[in-house]
Chain A
Amino acid sequence: MTTATPAGRRIDVRMSPKDLINIGVFGALYLVVVYAISMLGFINPPVMLVALAASIVAGGIPFTLFLTRVRHAGMVTVFGIITGGLFLLTGHPPISFAITVACALLAEVVIWAGGYRSRRLSVPAYAVYSAWYVGPMMPLFYARDDYFSSPSMQMMGTDYVNQMQALLSPGMLLAFDVSTVVFGLLGGLLGLRLTRKHFAKAGLA
């Protein structure tokens, strides 16, 4: 860590302790914000979908603020690994972890394109990252045959099973994914606005 940081766009993945602390702090902030707001939905099932959407939007605030402190490659990936890894250890499906890391890598590409300085690009970066939300839902789709071939579903008749199968079609999955990205864009915009409105003024950005 004694060599001078190279200028320009060379991809440098060495992390200073300060970077690692920033990743940890914002990872924790992101988890608490997302968890606290989506928990409102579990108390009251009708609000579940609203709370889910709101948690995607709210997560944009710590994420865009985190991006103002990202100066080189790898930080967003580590962010994805540790937050996704914690979800993995609490029972989320492994494919969700893989999707989170893939989304983080895509977000890396977006902010790399802005030279790690562009605040505006943090909006699409968060939208790309928030596509990980589809991860925990994946088994609902790829493992749906397990459920529909179970003896109790056979007793329900083919009409019913076909109806439910249609509901869990890949099209639905795509629609869900598109909506997470849309809410991700909204979250990024909100994060950008609040960063300018509050955090820049308070010297935190």
Chain B
Amino acid sequence: MTASPLTLPGQVTAAVRVLRLDPRTKVLLVLSASAAVMAPGGERFIPAALVLGLLLALGEGAWMRVAALPLTAAVVAAVAYLLPMAAPHPAVGVIATVAAYALRFVAVAGIALHLMRTTTPTQLTAALRAARVPRAITVSAAVMLRFLPVIVTEARAVHDAMRLRGIGGWGGLLRHPVLSIERFTVPLIASSLRVAEDLSASALLRGLGSATRPTALHPPRLGVTDLVAVLVAAALITVTVLW
């Protein structure tokens, strides 16, 4: 689908980036980090994943993340390991246990954020196609990624309208759970599907889902930087294993 270049809020446009990785490399980094960190015994890979996330943030020039990633990890780690010592109570223990898991999540999310911030849906779709993912999945994923921002806009509008009438928010959710779900979801779905009709008619006209393989304007290419990134990741894994 050749929709106009679509940037999610807060997304860095391609021109400012220094580090240019192929989306396939980025996906590979996220998946291998997630496979290593989330596995049983994966706690030892957390520092390596954090370092990789930090390097990617540095390469991307995302200074906010360079500061925020270690800080978040430190706070979460403190809650997980130091808080139970300060207050040995089962309720605190539950929070600490969840925090220990959240630490793994933070480590993977640091790398995932690089993927999300530097890859447009169009690039990701082209990369999935280049990786020979079946057409049914690439096309529907492309549609999903195209629609997400549209639906987020609609959701904001519905939420604003609810607030204007004094309903909604978590207070409302606690008092009338089913009713507030209905009031949020039904208008959201109805208005989104109306937009979807137009967008899908236009996408079909432009050949979405046709049997011919679409050509990408910027075809994904694996380069030297990708090799370097994979080597750095491999080095981090080796260091962790040998330590």
Q: Which residues of A approach B to under 8 Å, CB–CB?
A: 1, 15-18, 20-21, 23-25, 27-29, 31-33, 36-37, 40-41, 43-44, 47, 50-51, 54, 57-58, 61-62, 65, 74, 78-79, 81-83, 85-86, 88-95, 139-140, 142-147, 150, 152-153, 155-156, 160, 163-164, 167-168, 190, 194, 198-199, 202, 204
Contacts and interface: CB of A to CB of B under 8 A. Distances in A.
B116 to A, nearest CB: 7
Contacts of B41: 143, 146
Interface stretch (B58-66, B68-76, B170-178, B229-237): B170-178
A43 B170 CA distance: 9
Contacts of A65: 189
Contacts of B196: 21, 25
Interface string B46-67: 0000000000000000000000
B3 interface: no
B151 to A, nearest CB: 5
A190 to B, nearest CB: 6
Nearest 8 pairs between A and B by C-beta?
A24-B143, A17-B209, A93-B38, A28-B147, A91-B108, A23-B140, A152-B81, A24-B144
Contact of A21 (B145, B150, B204): B204
Interface stretch (B4-12, B13-21, B90-98, B216-224): B90-98
B148 to A, nearest CB: 5
A49 to B, nearest CB: 11
Contacts of A202: 190
Contacts of A163: 90, 93
Given A78-B136, A156-B88, A199-B190, A32 B204 contact: no
B200 interface: yes
A152 B82 contact: yes
Nearest to A150: B81
The residue in A37, A89, A91, A139 that gathers the most chain B C-beta atoms within 10 A of its C-beta is: A91
Contacts of A17: 139, 204, 208-210
B47 to A, nearest CB: 14
The residue in B104, B136, B178 that gathers the most chain A C-beta atoms within 10 A of its C-beta is: B136
Interface in B26-40: 27, 30-31, 34-35, 38-40
Contacts, number: 215
A74 B136 contact: yes
Interface residues of B, number: 73
B152 A198 contact: no
B232 to A, nearest CB: 19
A82 B143 CA distance: 10
Nearest to A139: B38
Given A94-B31, A204-B190, A20 B209 contact: yes
Given A32-B151, A139-B101, A152-B85, A20 B170 contact: no
Interface of B: 27, 30-31, 34-35, 38-43, 80-82, 84-85, 88, 90, 93-94, 97-98, 100-101, 104-105, 108-109, 111-112, 115-116, 136-137, 139-148, 150-152, 155, 159, 169-170, 173-174, 177-178, 181-182, 184-186, 188-190, 192-193, 196, 200, 203-204, 208-211
Given A15-B209, A50-B177, A85-B141, 20 more contacts: A16-B209, A20-B140, A21-B203, A25-B192, A25-B200, A32-B148, A33-B185, A33-B189, A37-B173, A50-B174, A61-B185, A61-B189, A90-B109, A143-B38, A153-B81, A160-B93, A164-B93, A167-B93, A190-B182, A204-B190
Contacts of B208: 17, 20-21
B136 A15 contact: yes
Nearest to B104: A139
Contact of B34 (A57, A94, A156, A204): A94
A190 B183 CA distance: 12
27 contacts: A21-B140, A21-B208, A24-B144, A25-B200, A28-B148, A29-B151, A29-B188, A31-B148, A37-B184, A40-B173, A47-B174, A50-B173, A51-B170, A78-B136, A91-B111, A92-B34, A94-B38, A143-B40, A146-B41, A146-B43, A147-B43, A152-B81, A156-B84, A160-B93, A163-B93, A199-B186, A204-B193
